[in-house]
Chains A and B, each alone.
Chain A
């Protein structure tokens, strides 16, 4: 029954830390369980223990659940210094890109004409940008006239917004309140 667990709990937490440290991308619980030869429950326990250890020691690192797995990253409190070290301008997505991305995220898989019907504007160039940035990808074709390409969001999309999975998207507001009630500026 016991699948050759590691000698003791401390080593297990250290092993999880090591795996997360070198991985360089989100590691799923299944992958960690396979690598460490422990159960998925043990992985979750170890991840929790690692997080607690990092919290208590005042480490600049933290474990976050992101894009379907776990990954080590720096804490927001030190972001200023890291940003200065990297000296790199972090671009933000344009409003058009965000709008399109939001529609795809909620309605995926969705075709370009469907997106354009919601936004009321042409979306070809925005879609190309999102495809180039790997935030969306093609997801087959819709079996309607013209067989238009379907789009869906990618793992990179989840990573871009630090989401664990799509279920973290906030529910869309039911269309009840009117802009007038919201109070115009």
Chain B
């Protein structure tokens, strides 16, 4: 390998860094001073593979993308070696076309980087001051209908900063799904009913419900309690409030009442 020569115990390497296989290819094209529209594929492929071999010799892990590109180069090379049929149409597509287009596209963006770097440096020489307001008199400076998500995020960040919450630490929390099972719900309903003298309506029972699931669960629990004869329900008219009371302190269990619920 023609890696940097050093016989000392602490070899020093200066490795150019590449942003990926396209970057490396462009570098090779530049070094060889060849026309990007007419890449000598055999030579460039050879140098490309040589570069990978060097890295491997240095025990560097080679990202998969580089290997994919190596395969692409070899494929192009082999396709170019194939003899063209004599009858081939004049404008037979050059196997290099796709690669050249990708290189040019990539080059266009990497060419813009210098400008971005200049702007970044310029901007870093400007200093702004933070807003002077306090949390209490903070007013949203946006029309409610024009607020964008990022505005809200910024406002939240500022509020957190003002409140002394460390915003460098990303706010993260695991919100567990509330696990309510039927048994818990049934116990809860019975507790509520036994605690009240005259029972309550179904509506009152689900006042604190936080989700649709909560309400559905309460309803299922009620049906189950009915089936077991623990609860008595009455509903004076269809769509009217469902009144519940506990059978323990009320009258006899009435098993057929649940039919009213299905009206």
Contacts and interface: CB of A to CB of B under 8 A. Distances in A.
Interface of A: 21-25, 27, 31, 64, 71-76, 79, 82-83, 86, 90, 92-93, 95-96, 98-99, 101-103, 106, 117-122, 132, 134, 137, 154-156, 159-163, 169-170, 172-173, 175, 178-180, 182, 184-185
Given A24-B131, A99-B110, A99-B113, A175 B105 contact: yes
B227 to A, nearest CB: 44
B112 A120 contact: no
A155 B119 contact: no
Interface of B: 17, 19-23, 26, 29-37, 63, 65, 69, 102, 104-113, 115-117, 119-120, 122-133, 141, 149-151, 153-154, 170
B21 A74 contact: no
B197 to A, nearest CB: 55
16 contacts: A23-B131, A75-B126, A76-B125, A79-B124, A99-B19, A102-B113, A120-B102, A121-B20, A121-B21, A134-B153, A160-B123, A162-B122, A170-B115, A178-B29, A179-B26, A180-B33
B108 A162 contact: no
Contacts, number: 146
Contact of A72 (B105, B123, B129): B129
Nearest to A94: B19
Contact of A170 (B63, B112, B123): B112
Contacts of A172: 108-109, 111-112
A98 B116 contact: yes
Nearest to A169: B112
A120 B113 contact: no
Contact of B30 (A120, A173, A179): A179
B20 A120 contact: yes
A162 B35 contact: no
A156 B154 CA distance: 10
B41 to A, nearest CB: 15
Contacts of B125: 76, 79
B36 A178 contact: yes
Contacts of A132: 170
A159 B123 CA distance: 8
A134 B157 CA distance: 11
Given A31-B141, A90-B124, A121-B20, A180 B34 contact: yes
A4 B181 CA distance: 65
Given A132-B170, A162-B122, A122 B65 contact: yes
Contact of A79 (B17, B126, B153): B126
Nearest to B124: A90
B105 A180 contact: no
A119 B111 CA distance: 13
